[in-house]
Chains A and B, each alone.
Chain A
């Protein structure tokens, strides 16, 4: 009975591959070409990585707010006086336009990237003159907490 079944283990309880006793049908190629390809690939990768790194470096070096701390929304909401006089950077998302007065500026509501709670920010006229704020747009800005807990955007640029 066991001789009739080729897949039957010669020994009971043991499974043997059907190609165990066959030879390789495709012959192996030469290994020298493979290495070149590998080197070229590596070079390409390195170049790409260098480009990316360059781009990032350039961007980093071109960021004016790179020295500023991100605006701590929670801390501001807890103790606004402790932040008075300090400057921060923040990526702001336009929530609402509250008021505008020529020569004074535009009072806006923004939310930050890290905190969705809105904060009131006064964008002075010189800063706001070239910007058309639209809800949902994001801006990078240098923020300063001034008297009365009012946040001023000293500068602002579109993201």
Chain B
């Protein structure tokens, strides 16, 4: 560096690009770098501050270099690996051998440890549940330096608190999980558009019976009869006779080159984009053969796509609403979003199956909605309004996406929080572990639990 170019203070941010002072220290020896630090971070795909250091700390450990395969049994599909192994590597190494992870989020740029910490879900949630359901055991570095193995029999409390515990119970060092056997390396996709929310929700439910993978994109800008219009994507693995014998070629990744200027996110631009996308989707079911990458991770084709939301960054609001207990909850959420003018590009809608085992796992039966929100002056207030509605409907928010909720909101949204904090206090009584997220969401509640 030349004297004229001062080295800026190091900054760290989540996928939503809201930075805090901080630095990630990566090493092949994860236990070594994690021992003296309050948090371990994977590939930084959580949107908010889940992977950022708490107040008083500057550094978090990074797991991405601790990515060794420890064992794989081709008979049972059981894989054991270090926590930094990425989903992308798992797919690259094991899809050619006929195996696929039973639950996978919308990006492959996540680590095993990150998938456990957020107890991620995917397009197969209605059938296969969360990632945690397929985890057999975990090795965790505790706050006091001990390394323990936990599963459903040994330290079940630690196991259940660590699934979906956002890395706040200990540093996840190793993960053992069961991969699913698949008949080919290709996906048969069927998609069609639906003109309103009721039709789309009904179609999602109907598709769940026949298809292992389902998801819908909805246009959150249209109101009236077109409210919640969207495109349903359903998928399944191609059978051996339906697909080419060769695996799909690796996709070329393009980089999003610039931070988009603000006008690209104007209501007019977004409305046009959504209308184009909806208008070009087929009105009758249309089938095609896709690579798993195209079907599961469409946005992974564009590196740094988070720059689309410009320099001010963005967040994602994802909640789950108990639609069958409170019919119309999804409609009420969309109506509020339109009223407050918060909606942006294509949003995601999916029906969810069983609740996860983790003490703070996000999924529960109902409908989940995920909406990207560019950061603007009123975004925090918008999130607060949405949180109020979700709490009233008995729903939840997803911590892997959250950046702006307050501790008071979260306490209302999460009746399970005190139990989680009590379990966490058993394993970290001195509060050595933490993140910017736990500072933000747990602070008052945590003090309460220490008194009790």
Partners in one complex: no
Residues in B lying within 8 Å of A, measured CB to CB: none
Residues in A lying within 8 Å of B, measured CB to CB: none
